[in-house]
């Protein structure tokens, strides 16, 4: 079942765009391990927050990705840009009106 992971990442004030740049750096490994979508963005109403929507082929693929050296490295590099405020949720996709 497709797994959706949705999150809000607090950025250190003034570091939001640097965090966006870090998270959107091109990576071929994510799709190789089952990432279907990984959308990163902002909302100027919340200037110190980065928003992420991820879709994975299943929860196991998402879980396994966290152990990848590339992902661990990206998280380590992003850590100084993070304020520590996190939010979001995850769910198993049941379906879509866009497909049968």
Structural contact between residues 51 and 41, judged by C-beta atoms closer than 8 angstroms = yes
* Sign of CA pseudo-dihedral 11, 14, 48, 38: negative
Q: Is 9 in the site for a copy of itself (CB under 8 A)?
A: no
* Contacting residue, 13, 25, 66, 76, with a copy of itself by CB under 8 A: 25
Q: Is 75 in the site for a copy of itself (CB under 8 A)?
A: no
Q: How far apart are CA 80 and CA 72, in angstroms?
A: 14
* Contacting residue, 12, 18, 27, 68, with a copy of itself by CB under 8 A: 27
Q: Is 13 in the site for a copy of itself (CB under 8 A)?
A: no
* Contacting residue, 23, 56, 62, 65, with a copy of itself by CB under 8 A: 23
Q: Is 91 in the site for a copy of itself (CB under 8 A)?
A: yes
Q: How far apart are CA 45 and CA 41, in angstroms?
A: 12
Furthest-apart CA atoms within the chain: distance in Å: 44
* Contacting residue, 37, 60, 75, 85, with a copy of itself by CB under 8 A: 37
């Amino acid at each position: 079942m497709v797994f959706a992971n949705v999150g809000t990442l607090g950025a250190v004030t003034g570091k939001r765009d640097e965090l966006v740049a870090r998270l959107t750096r091109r990576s071929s490994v994510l799709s190789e391990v089952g990432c279907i979508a990984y959308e990163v963005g902002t909302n100027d109403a919340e200037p110190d927050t980065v928003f992420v929507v991820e879709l994975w082929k299943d929860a196991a693929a998402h879980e396994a990705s966290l152990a990848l050296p590339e992902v661990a490295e990206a998280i380590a590099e992003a850590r100084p840009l993070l304020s520590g405020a996190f939010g979001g949720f995850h769910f198993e996709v049941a379906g879509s009106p866009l497909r049968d």
